[in-house]
Structure 1
Amino acid sequence: MTHREPLVVGVPTEVKPDEHRVALTPDGVRELNGHGVTVLVQAGAGAGAGIADEAYRRVGAEVVATAEDVWGRAGLVCKVKEPQGAELDLLRDDLVLFTYLHLAAYPEVGDALLAAGTTGIAYETVQTADGALPLLAPMSEVAGRMSVQVGAHFLERHNGGRGVLMGGAPGVRPARVVVLGAGNVGWNAAWMAAGLEAEVDLLDRNVDRLRFIDQIQMGRITTLASNRGQVERAVEEADLVIGAVLVAGGKAPVIVDEDLVRAMRPGSVIVDIAIDQGGCIATSHETTHHDPTFEVHGVIHYAVGNMPGAVPHTSTYALTNVTLPYLAELARDGVAAAVTEDPALALGVNTLGGRVVNEAVAEALGKPHAPLAEALRA
């Protein structure tokens, strides 16, 4: 194989509102340096996660002043969230962007990547042969666990809720928690809710998945096969509904329509974790950590698109743990070689050379799909 120089990796400060994570830890920088990779980190990028610039310098990163320095000099920009506003103007055709893209929810980002010819590789569509989503899993786990904390908070009366304690009290029924979807998000949400001694119903269409969870939890979580009737009965009686439905690369299906929200108890709470894929609750729209909730039909809705951003220290380390091996492959070998050798990473490529090369993403965006191999040859 012809020797090639590794791509320069750039880590800019996140600019999405209330986003305090950073895409790479100092340990990640040190690992990349070991592969001969130069890493540029924007000054202050790690501050929100409690990581000082000096910690990056000590392990060999070059700390640069501005976002333009990072985007302009790097061949591979590693981020946490999809590019925002002015960042879209920094895209170019010889750039690789590795981040959470969620293009089904943010089609304008997809349009910008296509117009610029940027290679966009999305954490959330990297998928192994067994169907697992390794780069989505840790943030799904964090969001699932957070959703119960959030739900418990907003169920308190002074925060607009019904005034229900998750675990109840001796002689008093605990909160009824309904979790829609038994993937990584839903499983972690149900587990946390059960730990607080709530009554928990976990719904999914995959009975084998429910069987697995039932065996682990030994009856502490009620597993229910998901269908329209079952969803309606569960949601109407719920104090807290957690939407945790995911279609990799695609738009989340709407599981709870507006009529069903209207039928819920006043002061009950919805946490729609699927909002970064469009949401699975018909009445949801994306909110921020600064202004996280709104009310529809007397029901409190929480739909923050970057929930793990509220716990940036934990989230940053959890994210780097899983992204680092793929980032090293891309920086060391280049996109073509890396995706040829790693089929899971190949599924992460959403856009390349002005084409959409992930089939699910193309369908969600209403764009023609170009096979990745064909786009690589172009």
Structure 2
Amino acid sequence: MLIGCPREIKNREYRVGLTPESTKELTRNGHQVWIETGAGAGIGAEDREYIEAGAQIVDRPEAIFAECEMVVKVKEPQPEERARLREGQILYTYLHLAPDAAQTADLVKSGVTAIAYETVTGAGGGLPLLKPMSQVAGRMSIQAGATALEKVHGGRGVLLGGVPGVMPAKVIVIGGGVVGFNAAQMAAGLGADVTIMDRNPEVLERVGTHFESRAKTRFSNQANLEEAVSEADLVIGAVLIPGASAPKVVTRAMLDMMKPGAVLVDVAIDQGGCFETSRATTHDDPTYVLEHIVHYCVANMPGAVARTSTYALNNVTLPHALRIADLGWREAMRRDAHLAAGLNVHAGHVTYPAVASELGYDLLPLEDALA
């Protein structure tokens, strides 16, 4: 199979879909790989390393989109990239379609077969291709929140861990999944006063057992949320419904209850955000202040630590890329129901139930797409 990897063009996105090591695995299996020149620069990977791994370097992305059978990326295709996609081509990347009607419409129109990292499932019921980026984003959310809390950035001027004789910051983590767990781990490690909120008693038991006295747990109902948010210095939004838009757990009205200069970090912004007042921001302009509350809503947080993120991502995406290339996407999905869960769009139809439901498309059942 001819596989292409273009340079990412989203704002401050330094990750790359294939590392030189992943490229070597694909070429060793008999596949051709085209890499856009400079695609690996953000992780310190030179064109020379890709050539040594067996890839061909191409000067512009047009050739990749025009010729390659499968395009491997990191972030969702931007409008100019979507215009180059074509019928019968495989797109393998993060998509986050439910809150993105424009992207979904373009993918449907293109006829592409789009496989989303974030909906591929795992044997334990998790999302293994999303997990490493959730780990990175969860840990980064505390770094970002700590910076935003500084007075010079509009925050309350509070140090997360406090100092002897001065209370630490109160950190509320909404959601006890992978993002929330990693956020709580970082915040507790810095000495903050951490509370993890979730609606699943089993999740609360698990994180409570892990953190013991280093973090508290609290059931996430409306009354408890309002009280917790009103006392918080930093709130981390870590709520996920796989493939669907995130629920709005913090409303605009709750902002009036919060301390001026408190910080909201919305790690669910890729799925539309879990705060009612969230709107996507970039690494160039990461925060905004609304109702005296600082909002951090960068949609590609892991792109800031591109080398760590790229290698963590390739560790989990490469095995499926090899199967798709070796067997073709249909046969690979027939053999692996977890990979099949990643199919979101095919030949002008939406194939993922949550996306079809959210955006009003008729659903093409997976079995029909695989027929």
Normalised by the size of structure 2, how large is the TM-score?
Answer: 0.99
Secondary structure of the corresponding residue to residue 83 of structure 2: helix
> How does 1:68-87 map onto structure 2 within 5 Å?
68-87=62-81
Secondary structure of the corresponding residue to residue 247 of structure 1: coil
Question: Does the 8 Å contact 2:252/2:276 carry over to 1?
Answer: yes
Please give the root-mean-square deviation of Cα atoms over the aligned residues, in Å: 0.8
Secondary structure of the corresponding residue to residue 30 of structure 1: helix
Match of 1:16 in 2: 10
Match of 1:174 in 2: 168
Indicate which of 260, 285, 292 corresponds to 1:298: 292
Pair 1:251-2:245 in alignment: yes
Deviations 1:205-226 (A, max 9, x none): 1111111111111121101111
Tell me how far apart the structure 2 counterparts of residues 38 and 303 of structure 1 sit (CA, whole Å).
Answer: 38
Structure 2 unaligned regions, length at least 5 = none
Indicate which of 106, 123, 132 corresponds to 1:138: 132
Indicate which of 29, 38, 44 corresponds to 1:35: 29
CA shift, 1:125, in A, is 0.4
Pair 1:189-2:193 in alignment: no
- Which one is further off, 213-222 or 309-318? 213-222
Tell me how far apart the structure 1 counterparts of residues 130 and 170 of structure 2 sit (CA, whole Å).
Answer: 28
Pair 1:104-2:61 in alignment: no
Secondary structure of the corresponding residue to residue 233 of structure 1: helix
Tell me how far apart the structure 2 counterparts of residues 228 and 81 of structure 1 sit (CA, whole Å).
Answer: 34
Tell me how far apart the structure 1 counterparts of residues 29 and 52 of structure 2 sit (CA, whole Å).
Answer: 17
Tell me how far apart the structure 2 counterparts of residues 57 and 130 of structure 1 sit (CA, whole Å).
Answer: 38
Question: Does the 8 Å contact 1:42/1:67 carry over to 2?
Answer: yes
Secondary structure of the corresponding residue to residue 172 of structure 2: strand
Deviations 1:81-140 (A, max 9, x none): 111121111111110000000001222111111111110100000012432000000000
Secondary structure of the corresponding residue to residue 151 of structure 1: helix
Deviations 1:216-275 (A, max 9, x none): 111211011111111111101000000000010000000000000121100010000101
Tell me how far apart the structure 1 counterparts of residues 139 and 123 of structure 2 sit (CA, whole Å).
Answer: 26
Question: Does the 8 Å contact 1:190/1:221 carry over to 2?
Answer: yes
> How does 1:1-378 map onto structure 2 within 5 Å?
7-377=1-371
For 1:307, the aligned partner's letter is: M
For 1:152, the aligned partner's letter is: A
Deviations 1:61-98 (A, max 9, x none): 11111001111121000000111121111111110000
Tell me how far apart the structure 2 counterparts of residues 155 and 349 of structure 1 sit (CA, whole Å).
Answer: 40
Tell me how far apart the structure 2 counterparts of residues 106 and 31 of structure 1 sit (CA, whole Å).
Answer: 33
For 1:227, the aligned partner's letter is: N
For 1:246, the aligned partner's letter is: L
Tell me how far apart the structure 2 counterparts of residues 260 and 121 of structure 1 sit (CA, whole Å).
Answer: 37
Match of 1:4 in 2: none
Secondary structure of the corresponding residue to residue 143 of structure 2: helix
Tell me how far apart the structure 1 counterparts of residues 14 and 254 of structure 2 sit (CA, whole Å).
Answer: 35
Q: Count the aligned residue pairs.
A: 371
Secondary structure of the corresponding residue to residue 173 of structure 1: coil
Secondary structure of the corresponding residue to residue 229 of structure 1: helix
Tell me how far apart the structure 2 counterparts of residues 223 and 37 of structure 1 sit (CA, whole Å).
Answer: 49
Tell me how far apart the structure 2 counterparts of residues 11 and 44 of structure 1 sit (CA, whole Å).
Answer: 11
Structure 1 unaligned regions, length at least 5 = 1-6
Tell me how far apart the structure 1 counterparts of residues 237 and 303 of structure 2 sit (CA, whole Å).
Answer: 18
Normalised by the size of structure 1, how large is the TM-score?
Answer: 0.97
Question: Does the 8 Å contact 2:334/2:370 carry over to 1?
Answer: no
Tell me how far apart the structure 2 counterparts of residues 261 and 146 of structure 1 sit (CA, whole Å).
Answer: 23
Deviations 1:284-331 (A, max 9, x none): 100000011101100000000000011101111010011000111111
Secondary structure of the corresponding residue to residue 169 of structure 1: coil
CA shift, 1:48, in A, is 1.3
Tell me how far apart the structure 1 counterparts of residues 45 and 257 of structure 2 sit (CA, whole Å).
Answer: 46
For 1:206, the aligned partner's letter is: N
CA shift, 1:353, in A, is 1.3
Tell me how far apart the structure 2 counterparts of residues 359 and 321 of structure 1 sit (CA, whole Å).
Answer: 28
Tell me how far apart the structure 2 counterparts of residues 72 and 162 of structure 1 sit (CA, whole Å).
Answer: 51
Tell me how far apart the structure 1 counterparts of residues 22 and 29 of structure 2 sit (CA, whole Å).
Answer: 11
Match of 1:3 in 2: none
CA shift, 1:148, in A, is 0.2
For 1:233, the aligned partner's letter is: E
Question: Does the 8 Å contact 2:174/2:196 carry over to 1?
Answer: yes
